[in-house]
Amino acid sequence: MNTQKNLMMLTIVISAIYGVWAIFAPGSIMSTYGTPEEFVNPVTLNIVMLFGVAAWVVAILGWHIRSTVTEENVEKAMSYFALAWLLYGLHGVISERILTWPEGLEPRVFSEQTIGGIVFLVLSVVYYMLRKPKSS
């Protein structure tokens, strides 16, 4: 069950780091994702900061789940973590296509956001595959 708890901690750490980044440097995140300068304003910065708070909520809930997980419920807990990574990944892959609408559904370039989405989708699969501890 150590593998599962370590994977849970990875989610917690990444969510906490992303949350701090979004709360304290929302403009940096927007530039990383290629947001045009004309879209950076107090409203959009506040929305990014709100998502940073949501990332912290994920980290806090993940910490709670990790601390209460047992052999009997670890599979279910890992499935929740896999679902969270799946949602992060879908956001990364689909949002680039939404941003290019109505010009087309194909992204102009293979952006950092798309690459991040693919990495998160891979993490989702890994979490799902490793949801059960090895039999002792």
Give the mean pLDDT of the chain.
88
Helix boundaries (H) for 1-136: 2-24, 26-32, 42-68, 74-99, 112-129
Q: Give the per-residue pLDDT at 101.
A: 60
CA angle 46, 114, 100 (to 5 degrees): 75
Task: Report pLDDT for 23.
Answer: 96
CA–CA distances in Å: residue 15 to residues 18, 51, 55, 97, 111 = 5, 11, 5, 24, 21
Q: Where are the domains of the chain?
A: 2-129
Which regions in the chain score pLDDT beneath 50?
none
